[in-house]
Amino acid sequence: MINRLLVANRAEIASRVFRTCRELGIETVAIHSDADAHLPYVREADHAVHLPGNAPSETYLRIDLVLDAARRSGADAIHPGYGFLSENAAFARAVIDAGLTWVGPSPESIEAMGSKIEAKRIMKAAGVPILEAPDEPTEADLPLLVKASAGGGGRGMRVVRSLSELQTEIEKAQAEAASAFGDGTVFVEPYVERGRHVEVQVVGSNVFGDRDCSLQRRHQKVVEEAPAPGLSDEVRAALHDAARKAAEAIDYRGAGTVEFLYDPATERFWFLEMNTRLQVEHPVTELVQGVDLVELQLAAAQASWTMGWPDPPRGHAIEVRLYAEDPANDYQPQSGTLTTFEIPVENGIRVDAGFETGSTVSTHYDAMLAKVIAHAPTREAAARKLASVLSRAKIHGLVTNRDLLVQVLRDPAFLRGEVSTDFLGRDAEGAPQRTLDITTPAVAAAIALAEQAKAARTVQRGIPVAWRNVVSQPQRTVFEEATVEWHGAYSVDGHTVVAAGPDSVTLETDGVRTTYTVAVHGLAVDVDSARGHVRLTRVPRFVDPAEQVASGSLLAPMPGTVVSVAVEAGQTVSAGQPVVVLEAMKMQHTVKAPTDGVVTQIDVKAGAQVAAGEVLAVVEEEG
């Protein structure tokens, strides 16, 4: 019997495992790096052990430190979560050799599926269809996909559309895979342009339903749902049978996922990989099948426990991954403090979060903030409910993909079930958008700021807030996004101020009243209402010249490490040409020349640590 469980992971997945442990009466142990010390999961655990440092290679990936933490805390079992060491056969063996209970499949099963190359060989022998690329690809074989053999989560994956780019993309994938997984082995397979990513949940060799995880960016999942929509009974049965064969071929134990690429045009499917762990998207299966997959993992690890069985599928569940990233800027990860992080939890809504208001999102780990899941009788109802909850969430301090997720959930093509792995890369029909005029939230923000100034005054308290000694001139508040002017006691053209306070303003516009809540953090002003969220930036009246940067400066979009510098000072470059490659949050990001010009300055070199906004290089436009 497991009495005290250590989760060899962090953030959301650690909190998720702890929740089931509390229900079962099992004590919990968290491990945390320096950067994670104040995250919620550390506080939720019964015991916590500090791993000095921040980089995964010096903390969560150190098998010796994890086992020492188990020894010091008195843990008798280890759950690996997902990512980090969760699919590391050497770690599983070390846990077992230390006399601890390993909550996962056997090391042999992990090893068999750990190499995607070896996994394909085993699946082919078991009669499961696989994708195979020719040894000597030609233009007719394009597009191709380069994949990391030991990888996952979209890292070490590159789409190749020209044979001339193949070797370069292989080298990039190798470098990314070596950094993320310690193994730079890659392979090439055909790339199905509009295929669907369909996976089957297994516990042992028993099937617990299927999921669709086709909506992805950078080959990482963004929206997942269960059951997979639009499959015929024949295709669904064939997928389940193939997953069962895959599990039986490696004598699988515990929870795992068999992933397939499905082509709706031909109704054919091929084995992609088997994840020998719990999946990020497991909540949609739990809600539809009526099971707790973490509990089943614990049951499989303890022979004295009886395995549960799933109920028939009930309704539909959709999950979105809320990331700290900027979709409008090539999905660049964001780091910093979440000044407000509030997601409504209502009937049929589940939130699995790793962060809370005040949490700091570091550059050392994945940028996922939370998973938000809706369960409803129908797929359309689940999508509508989830979009509503996301649109009403208050998320301040960092740019996120929230608006993109809402748009996807309301997109007619998505609602018809027309999903594929290239959905976010092609022109969708566009979701019906609520009109969001930035001017009106700016008016509310300006009035709230004036009310805050009024409350903070220590003199002239009785004088109206909008009073000016030059009555012919309006009061003016300047944001980077808009300028607001008014006369007298909040007389703003087109708007009637119904109520005003330091953090809430009600405006009547065209006969419609709307209340706006306003939160101020330094120069950032966040305005939330039923119309959506607007983030404004106040323009300071006086600017320190030392804070200005030269025209043409290329700034680091986030804190990170310089992987390589692709140009030299004095070199002529063209628009879009790579200048510097950064690595942050497990991904490589290329900073490109914004225009044709000459590199007049290089301020960094490979291996350097840079802060967000730091000047990397200067490219002066020709002429």
Determine the pLDDT at residue 329: 84
Determine the pLDDT at residue 429: 61
Tokens of 355: 């962060």
CA distance 252 to 202: 9
pLDDT value at 434 more than 90: no
Closest CA to 315 of 293, 292, 291, 287: 287
Domains of the chain, residue spans: 4-103, 132-190, 196-425, 439-537, 545-621
Mean pLDDT of 122-140: 87
Domains 132-190 and 196-425 share a fold: no
| Cβ-Cβ contacts under 8 Å for 264 (sequence gap 6 or more) | 194, 195, 196, 230, 420
Per residue in 578-599, pLDDT (tens digit) is 999 888 766 677 888 888 889 8
Task: Specify the CATH architecture of the domain 196-425.
Answer: 2-Layer Sandwich (3.30)
Tokens of 102: 């390993």
Amino acid, res. 387:
A
pLDDT value at 551 more than 90: no
CA distance 87 to 9: 12
Q: How far is CA 17 from the centre of its chain?
A: 19
Determine the pLDDT at residue 67: 98
Task: Specify the CATH architecture of the domain 4-103.
Answer: 3-Layer(aba) Sandwich (3.40)
Per residue in 66-81, pLDDT (tens digit) is 999 999 999 999 999 9
Region of poorest pLDDT, from 220-224, 430-434, 456-460, 503-507: 430-434
533 C-beta neighbours (distance < 10 Å), count: 19
pLDDT value at 61 more than 80: yes
Q: How far is CA 551 from the centre of its chain?
A: 33
Mean pLDDT of the chain: 89
Give residue 440's pLDDT band: very low, low, confident or very high (50, 70, 90).
very high
Q: How far is CA 381 from the centre of its chain?
A: 24
Tokens of 76: 């008798």
User: Terminal CA-to-CA distance of the chain, rounded, Å?
Assistant: 75
Amino acid, res. 230:
G
Determine the pLDDT at residue 253: 93
Determine the pLDDT at residue 306: 61
Strand arrangement, sheet containing 512-521? 495-500, 504-509, 512-521, 524-529, 532-537
Percent residues over pLDDT 90 in the chain? 60
- The DSSP-derived string for 19-80 is HHHHHHT-EEEEEE-STTTTSHHHHHSSEEEE-SSSSGGGTTT-HHHHHHHHHHHT--EEE-
- Give the torsion sign (CA, 291, 44, 281, 121): negative
Give residue 427's pLDDT band: very low, low, confident or very high (50, 70, 90).
low
Please indicate whether residue 144 or residue 612 has the higher confidence score (pLDDT).
144
CA distance 340 to 397: 7
Q: In CATH, which of 1.10.3720.10, 3.40.50.720, 2.40.50.100, 3.30.70.2170 is domain 545-621?
A: 2.40.50.100
Q: In CATH, which of 3.40.50.720, 3.30.1490.20, 3.30.70.20, 2.30.130.10 is domain 132-190?
A: 3.30.1490.20
Give residue 467's pLDDT band: very low, low, confident or very high (50, 70, 90).
very low
